[in-house]
C-alpha cells in the first residue's frame, strides 16, 4: 500500500463547476499537508499549505484536512479553463522542510 | 534569481553515457531536494540536502546516482552509465527552514536512447 493514495482521474468538469479533489494517507506522522498544481511540462507549483487538521481558504481554493480519517481535500469553486492541470497532494512530518511524500496526481480538465 | 533554475531543460543521451543535471536554488534556501517524475508516476524522492547536515540519500535508486551540493547553493545530480529506465523528468526544489512548502524548478527532461 502506498503512503499516499490519489485518484489519477482524469476528471472533466464544465466551467463554473465546483471541483473536489481528494487524497488518503496511511502515515499518522504526517503533520503538514500541501496541494500543488502542475501544468504540462512545468514543475509543480505550491497552491495550499496547511498544518494539522482544519480548513484553509485562499480565493477560490479551500483545503481541508481530517487527520482522524487520514483524508485531505481540495475544493475549487467557480472552476475556470485555466485550472486545467494535474493536482498533486503532498504531506510531510514535523518540520516543514523535511522530505515530502507526494500523491500521483489527479488530472483535471475544465471544459469552457 | 527569483526562482529555482535547472539546466539543461532537455537532455538526450546514449545508453551507457554519464549525465550531469544542475540545480540553482532560491538564494537563502537552505534545503534542496531532487525528485524524479516518470510518465504516469508520482514524484519519486531521490535526495535531500539541509544546510551542512549529511544528505538524506535514501531515495537514490542505485549507486549509479549521486549528487552533491557545493557551498550550500548549487547542486549537481550525476547519473553514471545511464539506462533507458532512467528516462524521466528530474525536478529540483528548494525551501527555507521556516517551511512553507517547496519551490520547484521546471525540471530536466532526460531521454536515454
pLDDT: which is higher, B50 or A85 = A85
| pLDDT, averaged across chain A | 92
Q: What is the DSSP string of chain B?
A: --S-EEE-SEEEE-TT--EEEEEE--TT--EEEEEEE-TT--EEEEEEEETTSPPB-TT--STTEEEEESTTS-EEEEE-S--GGG-EEEEEEEEETTEEEEEE---EEEEE-
Q: Which of A68, A29, A70, A72 is nearest to A50 (CA)?
A: A72
The answer to whether the Cβ–Cβ distance between B104 and A96 falls below 8 Å is no
Q: What is the pLDDT of residues B31-57, one digit of tens each?
A: 899 999 998 678 999 999 988 888 999
Give B82 to chain A, closest Cα distance, Å. 22
Contacts of B48 in chain A (CB under 8 A): 98-99
DSSP A77: S
Most confident of A46-55, B46-55, B72-81: B72-81
Residues 6+ apart with CB under 8 A from B54: none
Cell of A14: 464544465
The answer to whether the Cβ–Cβ distance between B99 and A105 falls below 8 Å is no
The answer to whether the Cβ–Cβ distance between A97 and B104 falls below 8 Å is no
Closest-CA residue in chain B for A42?
A: B106
pLDDT at B97: 64
Amino acid at each position: 500500500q502506498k503512503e499516499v493514495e490519489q485518484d489519477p482521474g482524469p476528471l472533466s468538469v464544465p466551467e463554473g463547476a465546483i471541483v473536489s479533489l481528494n487524497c488518503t494517507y496511511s502515515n499518522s506522522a504526517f503533520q503538514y499537508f500541501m496541494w500543488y498544481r502542475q501544468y504540462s511540462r512545468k514543475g509543480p507549483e505550491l497552491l495550499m499549505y496547511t498544518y494539522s487538521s482544519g480548513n484553509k481558504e485562499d480565493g477560490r481554493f479551500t483545503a481541508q484536512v481530517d487527520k482522524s480519517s487520514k483524508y485531505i481535500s481540495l475544493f475549487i469553486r467557480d472552476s475556470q479553463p485555466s485550472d486545467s492541470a494535474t493536482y498533486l497532494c503532498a504531506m510531510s512530518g514535523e518540520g516543514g522542510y523535511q522530505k515530502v511524500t507526494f500523491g500521483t496526481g489527479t488530472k483535471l480538465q475544465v471544459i469552457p | 534569481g527569483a526562482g529555482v533554475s535547472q539546466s539543461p531543460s532537455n537532455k538526450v543521451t546514449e545508453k551507457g553515457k554519464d549525465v550531469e543535471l544542475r540545480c540553482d536554488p532560491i538564494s537563502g534556501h537552505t534545503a534542496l531536494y531532487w525528485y524524479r517524475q516518470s510518465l504516469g508516476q508520482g514524484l519519486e524522492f531521490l535526495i535531500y540536502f539541509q544546510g551542512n547536515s549529511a544528505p538524506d540519500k535514501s531515495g537514490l535508486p542505485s549507486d549509479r546516482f549521486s549528487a552533491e551540493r557545493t557551498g550550500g547553493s548549487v547542486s549537481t545530480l550525476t547519473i553514471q552509465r545511464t539506462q533507458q529506465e532512467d528516462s524521466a523528468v528530474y525536478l529540483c526544489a528548494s525551501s527555507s527552514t521556516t517551511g512553507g512548502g517547496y519551490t520547484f524548478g521546471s525540471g530536466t527532461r532526460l531521454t536515454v536512447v
